[in-house]
Amino acid sequence: MANSLNSGFLAWLRRDLLLAYRRRGEAASPLVFFVMVSTLIPLGLTPESARLAEVAAGMIWVMALLATLLSVDGLFASDYQDGSLEQLLITPQLLPMPLLGKITAHWLTTGLPLTLVSPLLGLMLSLPASGYLPMICSLALGTACLSLTGAVGAALTVSLRKGGLLLSLLVMPLYMPVIIFGTATVTYAIDGLNWLPPLAILGALFAASIALCPLAAAGALRITSAN
């Protein structure tokens, strides 16, 4: 049984990664969005590096959140349209495991690239040097929370034709704690404080999300795919 649980997770993870690889252009768009919006900030705010440095951490986090939100919409959409979701619902494995595989694939293709690119944005927005490591750590943990929570929203709206906008309405309030502790980790480090406590809370949020979100998403999918 343990083996079959595992295979459900790995099979769907591998499949979604392969699919993302085949549509590289599409998969890269959240990343491009992330980088492009960051050029708007100096244009809209100020090119002065001292003032940019003040808002850099928060801005990078807000953009990461929006980029994740843009992409999480597609988590189940194509599977719903071509009938794969129907097959997923009747796998003998417990549904949360394959879902966790899909969510992991989503994080590996959006959250992780965002995290890896973020130092570049930090450079562009003159983030103080002490903020880089905390930013990378907090983004890696935080975007995983965003993918997990977003999956619940995506499952709730999968059968709706214009689910994308509604999805952001549903999920955005749930993202608040993540962005609070994510930015706090970076600002703590910049202010010379110990930044591990907020990061630890982010870790706790991640632990809670990984336990609960796949369950909630599974329940939601069974309901929304019923009609």
Partner 1 sequence: MPHSPLLKVENLAFERDDNSVLENIDLSLNSGEIIQIEGANGSGKTTLLRLLTSALQPSAGNIFYKGSPIGECRYQYLSDMLYIGHQPAVKLTLTAEENLRWMVNSSAKTNQLSIADALAGVGLAGYSDIPCYTLSAGQHRRVALARLLISEAALWYLDEPFTAIDKQGVSFLESRLQEHLDSGGVVVLSSHQDLALNNLRKYSLNPPAGQVQ
Partner 2 sequence: MSWQWFHRLGSPRWFYHNSARWLAWLCPIAAVVVLGGLVWGLAIAPEDAKQGNSFRIIYLHVPASFLALAGYYIMAIAGAVGLIWKMKLSYMVMKSAAPIGAALTFIALFSGAIWGKPTWGTYWVWDARITSMLILLFLYLGVMALQYAYHSIDAASKASAILALVGTVNIPIIYKSVDWWYTLHQPATIKFTSAPSMHPDMFQPLLVMIIGFYLFYAVALILHTRSEILRRERKTSWVRELLKPKQEFKADKQVGKR
- The reply on whether position 71 binds partner 2 by CB under 8 A is no
Q: CB of residue 50 vs partner 2: minimum separation in angstroms?
A: 19
Q: Are 154 and 73 in contact (CB under 8 A)?
A: yes
C-alpha span between 105 and 99 (Å, rounded): 10
CB of residue 225 vs partner 1: minimum separation in angstroms? Answer: 7
Q: Does 157 bind partner 2 (CB under 8 A)?
A: yes
> Which residue stretches of 125-195 are H helix?
132-157, 163-190
Distance CA 100, CA 13 (A): 8
Q: What string marks each residue from 70 to 99 as x (binds partner 1 by CB under 8 A) or -?
A: --------x--xxxx-xx-xxxx-------
Q: In this structure, what token pair is assigned to residue 146?
A: 């965003």
Question: Within positions 2 to 41, which residues make up the interface with partner 2, using CB under 8 A?
Answer: none
Provide the token pair at 127: 């983030």
Contact 141, 203 (CB under 8 A): yes
Using CB under 8 A as the binding rule, the residues of this chain from 90 to 149 that contact partner 1 are 90-92
Extract the tokens encoding 34: 């992330």
> Which does residue 70 touch among partner 2, partner 1, none (CB within 5 to 8 A, set by kind)?
none
Tell me which of partner 2, partner 1, none is bound by residue 4, counting a contact when its beta carbon lies within the kind-specific cut-off of 5 to 8 angstroms: partner 1
| By CB under 8 A, residue 11 contacts partner 1 | yes
If you search the block for the tokens 């929304």, which residue do you land on? 224
Nearest-approach distance from CB 13 to partner 2, in angstroms: 24
Establish how many alpha carbons lie within 13 A of residue 180's alpha carbon, considering only the half-sphere containing its beta carbon. 8
Site for partner 2, rule CB under 8 A: 152, 156-157, 159-160, 163, 166, 169-170, 172-174, 176-177, 180-181, 184, 201, 205, 208, 212, 216, 219-220, 223-224, 226-227
